[in-house]
């Protein structure tokens, strides 16, 4: 097939890249994959489905030569320097007007920089978030494109074909200017961190605190996944809890070391929210707890000093499980609310023009934070696309109120037992502060003015004031 002109090229044949390419080929596109390592090329070709058109190569110039113009090339390589290294190699081989898509988890400021430099050189560049892990890439991810509007129609049919579908609608939509796609993906990951932290906390209270076995918890999560909590993360937790270790025959979850890794997107979400002055404490805590988890040796030492029994005693089993369910629902609602409030503000501040109804619509399928709740958000944002916070929507408020009381009871139990529930606690704290018409920050203003003459405003008069405190 020497003269075949291919529709699409993909650079980076790790498992995500390989799966996405196989997915494109399933949908009738002729695709080319490049990887420097010949082994990765062989891996791709060994998985090729008969009747589809896929070719792998370790020759970048050959790949460029065999693509239809304007060329459409996606990079799925590790974020950071590797993206720049590939671009440096690729750009001299391309023609003006070619379209380059970065489908990795790049930091949005890198995407802004690359957009500028590539635009100056006459290329189209799009930062595109892709979520759904390995399976999503193969069977249908949620895709978050942003950037070059002119280039989008050239890649739209392909992205729509390979994306997940909900009610027949593709989980992909143009999400705004510049680095909007990567910004939305970053916040998606921040929400992902928050919900994962919350799930781990309810698991801890029910397992370590109350003593439910993994197989009992498997049943609990199975039931939860059939109701309001139905979501990808609850579903995989259900499955994790029944998985046996091949080596020991024990429950696999029990032999996994309690140190969490991270690649940075959660931290970036928190950092940017801090810069924008947006409160996202559930996500902040999720990042922070991963950091605390990493200092295992220190925790072991502290456990010997502060020995606590972490046992929940005297609770009614069914009631505790129901409280846990409602607390998880409550925290999940708050996690989304914080992430979406950040997107609202970032869109305004950075002029990204992110359409929030579209964001929640394409998160309904394919991505890691897909859940039935997104249908409710979609309704809310369709009715009012400029909501600053989803908690102001009457429908969402009804849901939050319905699980508030049991969340408080669950937290009281966990806190008395000394089980760390920082994610759930700050979710409730955030809610209590957000719905407070008055906060005690008048006192903070007084203190600031007392020691630093930082001035204050008054409740009864316009203007800026300073008092002589002593
Ligand atoms: C996704 C995931 C994906 C990746 C995370 C993991 O949407 O498919 O979010 O992008 O699994 O980046 O992040 P950590 O390694 O930081 O947990």
Task: State the CATH number of the domain containing residue 423.
Answer: 1.10.1040.10
Q: Please state the rounded mean pLDDT for residues 385-413.
A: 97
Residues in CB range of 315: below 8 A, 6 or more apart: 210, 413
263/307 same-domain check? yes
Catalytic member of 192, 267, 361, 406: 192
Residues with CB under 6 A from ligand 1: 105, 131-133, 189, 192, 261-263, 265-266, 367-368
- 3-state SS of 148-210? CCCCHHHHHHHHHHHCCEECCEECECCCCCCCHHHHHHHHHHHHHHHHHHHHHHHHHHHHHHC
148/199 same-domain check? no
Angle at 198 between CA 196 and CA 201, to 5 degrees: 110
157/207 same-domain check? no
pLDDT per residue as tens digits for the range 234-276: 999 999 999 999 999 999 999 999 999 999 999 999 999 999 9
248/335 same-domain check? yes
180 in a structural domain? no
Q: Do the Cβ atoms of 178 and 112 come closer than 8 Å?
A: yes
Q: Please state the rounded mean pLDDT for residues 40-69.
A: 95
Q: How confident is the prediction for the chain on average, in pLDDT?
A: 97
Per-residue pLDDT band for 309 (boundaries 50, 70, 90) equals confident
189/137 same-domain check? no
pLDDT per residue as tens digits for the range 199-211: 999 999 999 999 9
pLDDT for 4 beyond 80? no
Per-residue pLDDT band for 182 (boundaries 50, 70, 90) equals very high
364/387 same-domain check? yes
Angle at 236 between CA 24 and CA 366, to 5 degrees: 30
Q: What is the pLDDT of residue 399?
A: 98
pTM confidence score: 0.97
- End-to-end CA distance of the chain: give it in Å, rounded: 87
Catalytic member of 40, 55, 66, 185: 185
Task: State the CATH number of the domain containing residue 81.
Answer: 3.40.50.720
113 in a structural domain? yes
**Ligand 1 centroid vs 251 CA: distance in angstroms?**
24
Backbone angles phi, psi at 306, to 5 degrees: -105, 20
283/415 same-domain check? yes
Domain boundary among the residues 174, 194, 212 is at 174
Pocket test for ligand 1, best of 142, 260, 264, 265 (most atoms within 8 A of CB): 265
- 3-state SS of the chain? CCCCCECEEEECCCHHHHHHHHHHHHCCCCEEEECCCHHHHHHHHHCCCCCCCEEEECCHHHHHHCECCCCEEEECCCCCHHHHHHHHHHHHHCCCCCEEEECCCCCHHHHHHHHHHHHHCCCEEEEEEEECHHHHHHHCCEEEEEECCCCHHHHHHHHHHHCCEECCEECECCCCCCCHHHHHHHHHHHHHHHHHHHHHHHHHHHHHHCCCCHHHHHHHHHHHCCCCCCEHHHHHHHHHCCCECCCCCCEHHHHCCCCCCCCCHHHHHHHHHHHHCCCCHHHHHHHHHHHHHHCHHHHHHHHHHCCCCCCCCCCCHHHHHHHHHHHHHHHHHHHHHHHHHHHHHHHHHCCCCCCHHHHHHHCCCCCCCCECHHHHHHHHHHHCCCCCCHHHCHHHHHHHHHHHHHHHHHHHHHHHHCCCCHHHHHHHHHHHHHCCCCCCHHHHHHHHHHHHCCCECCCCCCCCECCCCC
pLDDT for 141 beyond 70? yes
210 in a structural domain? yes
pLDDT for 16 beyond 70? yes
Q: What is the pLDDT of residue 83?
A: 97
Domain boundary among the residues 137, 155, 174 is at 174
β-pairing, 31-34 with 54-57? parallel
**Ligand 1 centroid vs 301 CA: distance in angstroms?**
31
* Cis previous bond, 70, omega within 30: yes
Q: Which atom of ligand 1 is nearest to the CA of 264?
A: 16
pLDDT per residue as tens digits for the range 56-108: 999 999 999 999 999 999 999 999 999 999 999 999 999 999 999 999 999 99
Is residue 185 part of the annotated active site? The answer reads: yes
Distance CA 323, CA 121 (A): 58
Taking CA atoms only, the protein residue closest to ligand 1 atom 17 is: 262
Q: Which atom of ligand 1 is nearest to the CA of 136?
A: 8
pLDDT for 2 beyond 60? no
Q: Which atom of ligand 1 is nearest to the CA of 193?
A: 17
Pocket test for ligand 1, best of 79, 163, 172, 189 (most atoms within 8 A of CB): 189
Residues in CB range of 165: below 8 A, 6 or more apart: 140, 171, 365
Q: Specify the number of domains making up the chain.
A: 3
**Ligand 1 centroid vs 189 CA: distance in angstroms?**
6
Q: What is the pLDDT of residue 292?
A: 98
179 in a structural domain? no
441 in a structural domain? no
160/192 same-domain check? no
Is residue 192 part of the annotated active site? The answer reads: yes
280/397 same-domain check? yes
439 in a structural domain? no
Q: What is the pLDDT of residue 181?
A: 98
401/258 same-domain check? yes
Taking CA atoms only, the protein residue closest to ligand 1 atom 7 is: 131
Residues in CB range of 310: below 8 A, 6 or more apart: 208, 209, 417, 418, 419
Taking CA atoms only, the protein residue closest to ligand 1 atom 4 is: 133
Q: What is the pLDDT of residue 3?
A: 61
Q: What is the pLDDT of residue 148?
A: 94
450/430 same-domain check? no
Q: What range defines the domain where residue 39 resides?
A: 8-174
**Ligand 1 centroid vs 290 CA: distance in angstroms?**
14
Residue 333: closest CA among 282, 290, 289: 282
Q: What is the pLDDT of residue 1?
A: 45
Taking CA atoms only, the protein residue closest to ligand 1 atom 14 is: 262
Residue 376: closest CA among 354, 405, 351, 402: 402
Residue 73: closest CA among 140, 7, 1: 7
Residue 150: closest CA among 91, 97, 75, 114: 97
3 in a structural domain? no
Domain boundary among the residues 174, 195, 220 is at 174
125/262 same-domain check? no
């Amino acid at each position: 097939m020497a003269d075949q002109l291919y529709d699409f090229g993909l650079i980076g044949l790790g498992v995500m890249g390989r799966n996405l390419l196989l997915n494109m080929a399933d949908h009738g596109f002729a695709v080319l994959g490049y990887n420097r390592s010949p082994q990765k090329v062989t891996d791709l070709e060994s998985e090729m489905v008969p009747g589809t058109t896929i070719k792998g190569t370790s020759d970048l110039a050959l790949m460029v030569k065999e693509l239809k113009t304007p060329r459409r090339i996606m990079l799925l390589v590790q974020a950071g320097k590797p993206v720049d290294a590939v671009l440096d190699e690729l750009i001299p081989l391309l023609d003006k007007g070619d379209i380059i898509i970065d489908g990795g988890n790049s930091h949005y400021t890198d995407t802004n920089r690359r957009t500028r430099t590539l635009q100056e050189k006459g290329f189209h560049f799009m930062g595109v978030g892709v979520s759904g892990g390995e399976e999503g890439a193969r069977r249908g991810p949620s895709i978050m494109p942003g950037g070059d509007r002119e280039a989008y129609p050239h890649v739209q049919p392909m992205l729509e074909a390979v994306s997940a579908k909900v009610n027949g609608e593709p989980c992909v939509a143009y999400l705004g200017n510049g680095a909007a796609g990567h910004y939305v993906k970053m916040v998606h990951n921040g929400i992902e961190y928050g919900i994962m932290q919350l799930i781990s906390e309810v698991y801890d209270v029910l397992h370590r605190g109350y003593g439910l076995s993994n197989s009992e918890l498997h049943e609990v999560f199975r039931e939860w996944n059939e109701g309001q909590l139905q979501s990808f993360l609850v579903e995989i937790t259900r499955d994790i809890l029944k998985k046996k270790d091949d080596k020991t025959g024990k429950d696999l979850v029990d032999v996994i070391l309690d140190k969490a890794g991270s690649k940075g997107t959660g931290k970036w979400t928190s950092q940017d929210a801090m810069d924008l002055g947006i409160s996202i404490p559930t996500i902040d805590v999720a990042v922070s707890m991963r950091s605390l988890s990493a200092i295992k040796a220190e925790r072991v030492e502290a456990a010997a000093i502060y020995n606590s029994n972490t046992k929940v005693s005297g609770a009614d089993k069914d009631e505790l499980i129901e409280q846990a369910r409602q607390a998880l629902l409550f925290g999940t609602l708050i996690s989304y609310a914080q992430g979406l409030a950040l997107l609202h503000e970032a869109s305004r501040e950075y002029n990204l023009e992110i359409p929030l109804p579209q964001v929640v619509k394409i998160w309904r399928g394919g991505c890691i934070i897909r859940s039935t709740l997104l249908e409710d958000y979609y309704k809310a944002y369709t009715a009012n696309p400029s909501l600053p916070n989803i908690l102001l929507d009457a429908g969402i408020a009804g849901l939050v109120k319905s699980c508030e009381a049991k969340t408080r009871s669950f937290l009281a139990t966990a806190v008395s037992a000394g089980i760390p529930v920082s994610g759930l606690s700050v979710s409730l704290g955030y809610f209590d502060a957000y719905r407070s018409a008055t906060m005690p920050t008048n006192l903070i203003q007084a203190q600031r003015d007392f020691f630093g003459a930082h001035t204050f405003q008054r409740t009864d008069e316009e203007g800026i004031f300073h008092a002589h405190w002593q």
